[in-house]
């Protein structure tokens, strides 16, 4: 069967076509592999496309349909390249893991593999998930399919761009300070960061362990819930994972009657672009049209969340990244003089500038004499941010805010100023600090680029959030697809931070 | 204010080789990031407990049961250098 439009097809519809026998998994997989062949040279969403595996496995699912029947069987997916996959090179977009062949598979990925999804490949990211534009990858800069001269956001920019460009039906990403929601917003798709602990972090290459969560990037809210259903749950291999108090339900709400939505004044005073603000206000009006009420609330410590995050995340990263030392796996420098030289040069040559910057901040903040002033203080600010949310949720069911202050920005425009780049996550970071579930849905365009509407809920309120997002999605009716236009004015086109220098090995079993 | 000497000292702690021009550039970048972070000092946090973990889960233990561990050849598979079933590293000095 042909005629499927990868820019518009949802997993829900693909699943129905599969179940009804109108399309085979091999045919469906080919739709995406063909789209990858057609647009990947412009988008560069994947670090590795596992073409042969995908073709073979989808055929196997078709052949053994009886044994492999399951809610996700035969549906193709893309996976962010910071989740380890046995037998498939996993680079974390870093030179230091250019040749890493994992000997096990991340729990969240294993869960969908056991449901017989077909993996299309591993998607690009900011190295070690540190960034907001996917420009920090050691391998390639991913372009936003809505305008190839702009960034897709980050760090899950490869996953978001792949879904938006029709190069994947849906994808897995990870979110430490907004890394699912911000790229989803910039690419005009749905992205959800679950409550901390809802999804196992086993096999997710650790960035900041107290903040990291894996979650779905999809074309619809229903798809988002469907994928979330299959990755949640307690995993004995991640002691911070927990079972949800209730299973994830597939949303169907059309109305928001009785729903109280809080709008934090502080999120609207951080330099929200006019076009973003306009779409946000229109969406609030829809909340009311659908029977909900919007009330202004205050989260007074919002302005301290970003400084606290930029201590806590780098501090945890500096400890987590100590394991990359050129001894057990990955890159090793040539001809080390002694063990210290091996460590220092391997890490100096293997890590990119942003990763080094964060290791430096983290090491500094944890070093003797500075711990109380930085890390200790940041942990206390984190408590204040949590208390703000607790107080707010005494009066409202959900909180609404723009996902990010601006639409997709030009590639290269923020790379010279780390702080300007960090500001991209000002609206998403507080939910990570408080461990709360949050998601972004597309709510319209500004200057032809997508705008995201963010919902934040109390811990484990995923179902409430998904129902509300579903009702809003139906009312908004966002159905526009990206055009792959390129508005670059010259120098920004194909901009590349350090030149595409290292290719990961294409080996896969 | 962070100095270039501080940057070199921290790089040493982090086992990170940084070049001359990198140290100079990084000093400026870290100074501006840390200046932003210093905003936290506006708050009186004396009576606020720190948050290390957002969920109310404590003492999570697993069943004390034997399970197979990673076989040695698997554990060594990605090693840049191996000898006698061990990770091989250059001499310490």
The upper half-sphere exposure of residue A294, i.e. CA atoms within 13 Å in the direction of its Cβ, equals 17
Residues of A in Cβ contact (< 8 Å) with B89: 327, 339, 342
A321 within 8 A of A359, measured Cβ to Cβ: yes
Q: Report CB contact under 8 Å: A360, B10.
A: yes
Q: Calculate mean pLDDT across residues B25-48.
A: 94
Tell me how many domains chain B contains.
Answer: 1
Restricting to A residues 180-199, those with a Cβ less than 8 Å away from any Cβ of B are 196-197
In this structure, the answer to whether residues A371 and A402 fall within a common structural domain is no
Can you give the residue range of the structural domain that contains B5? 1-40
Residue A506 counted as domain residue: no
More confident of the two residues A265 and A66? A265
Residue B74 counted as domain residue: no
The single residue of A58, A155, A200, A461 carrying the catalytic annotation is A155
CA distance A118 to A55: 8
Q: Report CB contact under 8 Å: A310, B7.
A: no
Quote the DSSP letter at residue A327.
S
Under 8 Å CB-to-CB from B64, ≥6 apart: which residues?
Answer: none
Residue A1 counted as domain residue: no
Q: Report CB contact under 8 Å: A374, B37.
A: yes
Residue A482 counted as domain residue: no
Q: Output the pLDDT for position B3.
A: 95
Q: Report CB contact under 8 Å: B10, A336.
A: no
In this structure, the answer to whether residues A351 and A447 fall within a common structural domain is no
Under 8 Å CB-to-CB from B79, ≥6 apart: which residues?
Answer: A327, A328, A329, B87, B88
Q: pLDDT by residue (tens digit) across A110-131?
A: 999 999 999 999 999 999 999 9
A133 catalytic residue (yes or no): no
Q: How far is A181 from chain B (nearest CA, A)?
A: 20
Closest CA to A122 of A166, A95, A154, A156: A156
Q: Give me the residue from B2, B26, B54 closest to A196, CB to CB.
A: B54
A80 catalytic residue (yes or no): yes
Q: How far is A149 from chain B (nearest CA, A)?
A: 26
In this structure, the answer to whether residues A322 and A215 fall within a common structural domain is no
In this structure, the answer to whether residues A112 and A66 fall within a common structural domain is yes
Q: How far is A335 from chain B (nearest CA, A)?
A: 9
Tell me how many domains chain A contains.
Answer: 2
Q: Output the pLDDT for position B71.
A: 94
Q: Which of B35, B48, B51 to mutate to test the interface with A (most CBs of A within 10 A)?
A: B51
A316, pLDDT greater than 90: yes
Closest CA to A76 of A94, A58, A100: A58
Q: How far is A446 from chain B (nearest CA, A)?
A: 30
The domain boundary, picked from A345, A380, A415, lies at A380
CATH of the domain at B16: 1.10.20.60
Residue B36 counted as domain residue: yes
In this structure, the answer to whether residues A354 and A413 fall within a common structural domain is no
The single residue of A179, A200, A220, A318 carrying the catalytic annotation is A179
In this structure, the answer to whether residues A65 and A214 fall within a common structural domain is yes
Q: Output the pLDDT for position A504.
A: 55
Residue A502 counted as domain residue: no
B56, pLDDT greater than 90: no
A434 within 8 A of B54, measured Cβ to Cβ: yes
Least-confidence region, from A69-78, A192-201, A284-293: A69-78
In this structure, the answer to whether residues A222 and A294 fall within a common structural domain is yes
Q: What number of C-beta contacts closer than 8 Å exist between A and B? A: 169
Q: Calculate mean pLDDT across residues A190-198.
A: 98
Q: Calculate mean pLDDT across residues A267-292.
A: 96
CA distance A62 to A73: 9
In this structure, the answer to whether residues A290 and A321 fall within a common structural domain is no
Q: Calculate mean pLDDT across residues B14-41.
A: 94
Residue B70 counted as domain residue: no
Least-confidence region, from A49-63, A391-405, B55-69: B55-69
Residues of A in Cβ contact (< 8 Å) with B20: none
Q: What's the pLDDT band for B57 if we cut at 50, 70, 90?
A: confident
A179 catalytic residue (yes or no): yes
Estimate to the nearest angstrom the gap between the alpha carbon of B85 and the chain centroid.
Answer: 28
Q: What's the pLDDT band for A2 if we cut at 50, 70, 90?
A: low
In this structure, the answer to whether residues A169 and A238 fall within a common structural domain is yes
Q: Calculate mean pLDDT across residues A362-379.
A: 94
In this structure, the answer to whether residues A130 and A255 fall within a common structural domain is yes
A421 within 8 A of A310, measured Cβ to Cβ: no
Q: Output the pLDDT for position B61.
A: 85
Least-confidence region, from A149-163, A489-503, B13-27: A489-503
Q: Output the pLDDT for position A498.
A: 39
- The ipTM estimated for the assembled molecules is 0.96
Residue B57 counted as domain residue: no
Q: Report CB contact under 8 Å: A360, B34.
A: no
Residue A149 counted as domain residue: yes
Instruction: Express as a percent the part of chain A with pLDDT over 90.
Output: 90
Instruction: Express as a percent the part of chain A with pLDDT over 70.
Output: 95
In this structure, the answer to whether residues A92 and A135 fall within a common structural domain is yes
Residue B49 counted as domain residue: no
Can you give the residue range of the structural domain that contains A353? 303-380
Q: What is the mean pLDDT of chain A?
A: 94
Residue B78 counted as domain residue: no
In this structure, the answer to whether residues A175 and A232 fall within a common structural domain is yes
The domain boundary, picked from A362, A380, A398, lies at A380
Q: Output the pLDDT for position A418.
A: 86
Q: Output the pLDDT for position A500.
A: 42
CATH of the domain at A435: 3.90.1300.10
Residue B83 counted as domain residue: no
């Amino acid at each position: 069967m042909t005629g499927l439009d990868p820019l518009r097809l949802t997993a829900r519809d693909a699943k129905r076509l599969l179940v009804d026998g109108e399309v085979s998994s091999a045919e469906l997989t080919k739709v995406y592999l063909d789209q990858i062949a057609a647009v990947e040279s412009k988008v560069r969403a994947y670090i590795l496309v596992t073409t042969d595996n995908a073709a073979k496995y989808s055929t196997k699912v078709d052949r053994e349909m009886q044994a492999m029947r399951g809610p996700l069987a035969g549906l193709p997916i893309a996976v962010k390249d910071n989740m380890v996959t046995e037998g498939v090179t996993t680079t974390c977009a870093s030179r230091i893991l250019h040749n890493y062949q994992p000997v096990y598979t991340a729990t969240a990925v294993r869960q969908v593999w056991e449901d017989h999804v077909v993996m299309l490949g591993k998607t690009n990211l900011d190295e070690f998930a540190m960034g907001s534009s996917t420009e920090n990858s050691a391998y390639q800069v991913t372009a936003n399919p809505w305008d190839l001269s702009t960034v897709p956001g980050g760090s899950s920019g490869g996953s978001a761009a792949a879904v938006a460009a029709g190069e994947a039906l849906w994808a897995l990403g990870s979110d430490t300070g907004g890394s699912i929601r911000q790229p989803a917003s910039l690419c005009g798709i749905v992205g959800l960061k679950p409550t901390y602990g809802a999804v196992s972090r086993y096999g997710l290459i650790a960035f900041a362990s107290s903040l990291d969560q894996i979650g779905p990037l999809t074309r619809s809210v229903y798809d988002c819930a469907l994928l979330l259903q299959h990755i949640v749950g307690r995993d004995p291999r991640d002691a911070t994972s927990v079972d949800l108090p209730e299973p994830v339900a597939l949303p169907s709400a059309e109305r928001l009657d009785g729903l109280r939505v809080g709008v934090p004044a502080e999120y609207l005073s951080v330099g929200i672009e006019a076009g973003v603000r306009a779409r946000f206000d229109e969406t609030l009006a829809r909340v009311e049209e659908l029977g909900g009420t919007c009330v202004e609330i205050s989260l007074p410590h919002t302005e301290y969340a970003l400084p606290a995050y930029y201590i806590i995340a780098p501090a945890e990263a500096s400890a987590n990244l100590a394991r990359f030392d050129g001894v057990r796996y990955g890159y090793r420098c040539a001809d080390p003089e002694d063990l210290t030289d091996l460590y220092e040069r391997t890490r100096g040559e293997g890590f990119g500038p942003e990763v080094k910057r964060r290791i430096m901040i983290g090491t500094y903040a944890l070093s003797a004499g500075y711990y109380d002033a930085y890390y200790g203080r940041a942990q206390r600010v984190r408590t204040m941010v949590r208390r703000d949310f607790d107080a707010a949720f005494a009066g409202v069911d959900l909180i609404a805010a723009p996902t990010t202050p601006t639409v997709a920005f030009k590639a290269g425009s923020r790379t010279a100023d780390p702080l300007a780049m960090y500001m991209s996550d000002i609206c998403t970071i507080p939910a990570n600090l408080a461990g709360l579930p949050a998601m972004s849905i597309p709510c319209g365009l500004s200057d032809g680029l997508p705008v995201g509407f963010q919902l934040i809920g109390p811990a484990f309120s995923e179902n409430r959030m998904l129902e509300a997002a579903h009702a809003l999605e139906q009312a908004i009716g966002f159905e526009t697809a990206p055009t792959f236009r390129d508005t670059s004015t010259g120098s920004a086109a194909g901009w590349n931070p350090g030149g595409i220098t290292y290719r990961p090995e294409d080996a896969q079993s | 204010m962070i100095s270039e000497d501080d940057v070199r000292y921290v790089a040493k702690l982090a086992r990170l080789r940084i070049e001359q021009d990198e140290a100079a550039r990084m000093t400026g970048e870290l100074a501006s990031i840390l200046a932003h972070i210093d905003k936290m000092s506006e708050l009186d946090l004396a009576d606020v407990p720190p948050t290390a973990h957002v969920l109310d889960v404590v003492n999570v233990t697993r069943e004390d049961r034997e399970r197979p561990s990673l076989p040695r050849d698997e554990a060594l598979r990605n090693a840049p250098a191996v000898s006698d079933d061990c990770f091989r590293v250059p001499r310490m000095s």
